[in-house]
Structure 1
């Protein structure tokens, strides 16, 4: 047994020596110069990111500071890439909702161009009831604007001294009409010139009584659009009394930009729609295209006549017209509106050079008309190019955080966005606003920020009130001096705020807020005199996981798309000074 124990001990010693050699034997060689390099291992795992929030980059593993999910190793995205290229992980693309589309692949069949306008009174059927003699208004029988009147209805009574004298002359002449028929006839004709009917003249003659307060009857049927006198007013011959509009036929008045002028001609039929009746399209015929361009708005008035015998279309109502454009007229490439990032004079898209690789290149493009939610591309892309159609802002945010060129940091910029940094926008703006419009936009911006706070607090009624107020301010700004692009964006703002004010629940209001915020960011980036610094913030889970942005005065995240449910979900992706 002793001999066997010695053998076991010997085997154990040999095994121990071998294990020690493999564990520590290479140490001597390493110290002699062949030091093992761990840089590859460190490089592959030195940065950690969140699959839901790819903009998060940390040097060690842990939890995402936004959503709390476990961080995953980030793939190297900078090796061999140019300054305007970015690489994303496949997982990040899927979770961020990044989708691409081939340029030109949707250009089939007929295309459409939409223009916005308002319903107005058809001035051809707008009648003014005037006074045919001097006098004093004794009574008015129409009480308010909008009241419906019928032809022959009494509108007012007038005391007219000259008419009283003429009636007395009629009574005197009627007694001598057998001997003085010419005088009698002249007196009657005099009364007819004052628009007295044969029946009225005969009534005066047969009764032998002079009317002191003479009635005025409506010449047409319609709706009272304006009451132009008050009881007790003294009037002269020809003075307007009441304006009556026949609303069986109305006008739709559109503002067409210069590059849309070729789409309209007199006699052309348009399809007109309104949000009041979303399932109905009203045919309209173009009756007038203004011969002179409005130098302030750079637009031309296009007027179309609409049949409104059923009374559905009211003056002041917002409408849209659809113009069909055939393939022969539509030879340009198109990209979805969601693919375009606006900054300064530049319009940017992200192009995927190889559909099999998640590498995106920022490219500047020149755009034309907006049709069916897509822009015509005049230059910068070719047929067959793949562009990011959804999640564009997420790709750009990732580019900013990796120090790449982006919409916020482009020509002449060397550093990424950060606290106190500027937006990197060009000094020459795409949208040109007058000083009055700049000042008024700051007022609208304050309403927008209050709207955002109301959504954070889940205040549905307050959101409605603020949206309605904002729509009014947007309408005022749209009447001020700015270029075509500014008019287009402000018209859209007004539509979005009006739509938001009509929504009865928070979910629908937040859905409209997605596009409203996108529009406000685009305009805000091009304002020269903002009152305060703004933070552009982004939530990748909003808008059905497609991501959505908003503006805030504070860097701290307060998510308007989820409120208390996910109050701090989001991140700052840019600033506007």
Structure 2
């Protein structure tokens, strides 16, 4: 009986111990709380500076700000400059549908001129022997041997000698000198050439004639050693300071333009810088059972970077309206839609999904996702996109949606 009592007492003690152990273990786990990660702070001007807790930037001394979590890129000023990343505020501006019509640049026939021989003689030398070459005003064109010019030079030198000797006593010698000088000028010599003749007092058998204007040589009608009459055509010169743009439009396009309108033109090879041209001529023609209107516009070419024969596109914009818009290069399109890169802090960008509407040659309407005044990367957006893809290992908007 005593043995049974001892056995029951031992069982009671073991049961009490087994009940206390889980409670103690549970209490221990309840007190073990994970420590939160310290908040990161960074410098708005030097994103590479990151530390735990607030403080001062060791580079510029600015107050550090909390580093935002999520998908974002932080770039230094030097990185933004090297990547050509520029920003602009979202603003309301006109945007509409754009129709593109192919055209071609042509010579402006109003600027055509012929360079002819000023005197009868023999062409001793041609300085320009190929067509299609641009020439500047005052550039040498050809050398001419002319008996007429030899006689006029002698007359000038004689008149000058008489004026130098007797001009102070008799004013009429000044008149003789002026008359001899005017003859040389009318035969194509420049004032500088006449002045040099008076100083050297030696006449030249071969006179060099200079280009009277700048332009493009489209025709050469003489050869070296050839004898030419006075007034004979030597060169055909085209002024390319202005060019014609020629295109053909159909009825649905002709209604968008009229004579006097300024139109936007994009020349192949210079697509990034569209230029304006003024419509000067519209001529309807009947072809293949439809009406085709030939359009001609005058395009300024002050630096002569455009050449006749270049292909171009005419951009007609219609249905224009005021809306929030961005340059087309600022909007990145992929399988998940469209997004832009919003600047949240200096040097810090994050992708933001947007919806687009009307789009013309240079702008795209933003219908949702942005507010007026938001600062967006307008150049270099694709570099930001590539950087996020490399860092996140996938599409930035897909990662954003999963997060």
Query: What TM-score do the two structures reach when normalised by structure 2?
Result: 0.47
Greater share of residues in helix: 1
Bigger strand fraction: 2
Normalization by structure 1: what TM-score?
0.34
